[in-house]
């Protein structure tokens, strides 16, 4: 691919895409080009379509993976090659959105208590206490913690947006204890083993997985589940859904509204229409 790969990499940087997105797009396009083994500039719309048919039918790629390849190839042709008509008819697959498993407050407490490493526990407390993505929590700097205003500054999150979230007094105490124990020397609040690096997301995921196994919770739980629990518990406590949207950094209220589907408190407090119908549900007497 050579020059086209380099030009696309430049275009992604100029468009200010997140580093992780840049890497994903380039990997997908490299694979697309390798499938044909010739320059993408000479491919027809039918050629391009054949790659996605192969990806879907032969490789049985999940919809999320196909969607990422579609977005990457669209960027290649629309921006780098300036041939938007070549991808005008590319179809995006429907991606299923199953409802997440939600931890109860008691389960959150048990999970956090079961995390052996205090450093990992504080990171997971941050994810739950402020509704942060695990990448956002791991990337915090000491300057992001504003104890005077009791807020945390989340920088360059999804879609490169900054936002403020609440700083819980309980979380602040945990962060202060973490600081006393670890005394990170650089700007990073949760540094990795090497200088000027961040703690690995996988290390936090592994610590959470071990805690879940220890206490026997069978729900599908990842660090992101703590963000789901944060939103659901706020909603159950009566927080305005618009406020929750801002705290989560959602671009659309529709993303936040999904938590109304998993809040058992809202579900159980909504009366069934059967309650207003007079009918004998006890069966025939003997």
- DSSP labels for 162-200? -EEEE--HHHHHHHHHHHHHH---SSBSSB-SSTT-BPP
| Residue 276 is a catalytic residue | no
Question: Which pLDDT value is given to residue 286?
Answer: 46
Question: What percentage of residues in the chain have a pLDDT greater than 70?
Answer: 91
Residue found under tokens 């993976």? 65
Q: Which residues contact 284 (CB under 8 A, 6 or more apart)?
A: none
Rounded CA separation 243/193 (Å): 37
Question: Which pLDDT value is given to residue 80?
Answer: 96
Question: Which pLDDT value is given to residue 282?
Answer: 56
Question: Which pLDDT value is given to residue 254?
Answer: 81
Within the chain, which residue ranges are assigned CATH 1.10.150.130? Answer: 3-87
CB 197 within 8 A of CB 172: no
Q: How confident is the model at residue 32 (pLDDT cuts 50, 70, 90)?
A: very high
pTM for the model: 0.73
Second-level CATH architecture of 3-87: Orthogonal Bundle (1.10)
**Selected catalytic residue, list 78, 205, 250, 258:** 250
**Partner residues linked to 188 by β-bridges:** 141
Of the two residues 257 and 90, the one the predictor is more confident about is 90
What class has domain 106-220?
mainly alpha
- pLDDT, tens digit (0-9, with 9 covering 90-100), for 90-130: 988 888 777 788 899 999 999 999 999 999 999 999 999 99
- State the CB neighbour count (10 A cutoff) for residue 249: 19
Q: Which residues contact 225 (CB under 8 A, 6 or more apart)?
A: 100, 101, 102, 103, 219
Residue 66 has pLDDT above 50, yes or no: yes
| Residue 178 is a catalytic residue | no
Question: Which pLDDT value is given to residue 31?
Answer: 94
For the segment 41-52, the average pLDDT, to the nearest whole number, is 94
Question: Which pLDDT value is given to residue 276?
Answer: 72
Residue found under tokens 């809202």? 266
CB 89 within 8 A of CB 74: no
User: Which residue, among 76, 69, 58, 59, has the nearest Cα to 93 in the 3D structure?
Assistant: 69
Average pLDDT, the chain: 89
| Residue 133 is a catalytic residue | yes
Give the dihedral of Cα atoms 100, 101, 105, 107; nearest 10 deg: -150
3-state secondary structure of 202: helix
- pLDDT, tens digit (0-9, with 9 covering 90-100), for 177-233: 999 999 988 899 999 888 778 899 999 999 999 999 999 998 999 999 999 999 999
**Selected catalytic residue, list 5, 214, 224, 258:** 224
Burial of 264 (0-12, 13-18, 19+ CB in 10 A): exposed
Q: How confident is the model at residue 285 (pLDDT cuts 50, 70, 90)?
A: very low
| Residue 228 is a catalytic residue | no
Within the chain, which residue ranges are assigned CATH 1.10.443.10? Answer: 106-220
For the segment 44-64, the average pLDDT, to the nearest whole number, is 93
For the segment 52-58, the average pLDDT, to the nearest whole number, is 93
Question: Which pLDDT value is given to residue 196?
Answer: 79
Rounded CA separation 198/19 (Å): 15
Rounded CA separation 130/152 (Å): 8
Q: How confident is the model at residue 2 (pLDDT cuts 50, 70, 90)?
A: low
For the segment 252-269, the average pLDDT, to the nearest whole number, is 74
**Selected catalytic residue, list 158, 163, 201, 214:** 158
**Selected catalytic residue, list 133, 178, 228, 233:** 133
């Amino acid at each position: 691919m050579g020059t086209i790969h380099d030009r696309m990499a430049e275009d992604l940087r100029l468009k200010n895409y997140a580093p992780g997105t840049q890497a994903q797009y380039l990997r997908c396009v490299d694979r697309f080009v390798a499938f044909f083994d010739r320059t993408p500039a000479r491919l027809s719309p039918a050629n391009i379509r054949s790659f996605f048919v192969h990806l879907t039918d032969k490789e049985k790629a999940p919809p999320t993976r196909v969607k990422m390849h579609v977005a990457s190839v669209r960027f290649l042709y629309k921006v780098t090659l300036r041939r938007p008509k070549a991808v005008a008819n590319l179809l995006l697959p429907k991606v299923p959105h199953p409802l997440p498993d939600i931890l109860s407050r008691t389960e959150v407490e048990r999970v956090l208590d079961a995390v052996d490493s205090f450093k990992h526990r504080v990171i997971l407390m941050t994810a739950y206490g402020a509704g942060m993505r695990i990448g956002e929590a791991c990337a915090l700097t000491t300057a992001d913690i504003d104890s005077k205003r009791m807020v945390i500054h989340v920088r360059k999150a999804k879609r490169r947006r900054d936002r403020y979230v609440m700083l819980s007094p309980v979380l602040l105490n945990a962060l202060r204890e973490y600081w006393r124990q670890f005394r990170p020397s650089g700007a990073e609040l949760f540094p990795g083993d090497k200088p000027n690096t961040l703690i690995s997301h996988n290390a936090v995921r592994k610590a959470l997985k071990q805690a879940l196994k220890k206490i026997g919770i069978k729900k599908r739980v990842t660090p992101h589940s703590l963000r789901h629990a944060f939103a659901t518990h706020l909603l159950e406590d009566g927080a305005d859904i618009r406020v929750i949207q801002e705290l989560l950094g959602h671009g659309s209220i529709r993303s936040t509204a999904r938590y109304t589907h998993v809040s058992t408190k809202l579900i159980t407090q909504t009366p069934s229409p059967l309650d207003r119908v007079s009918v004998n549900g006890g069966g025939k007497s003997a």
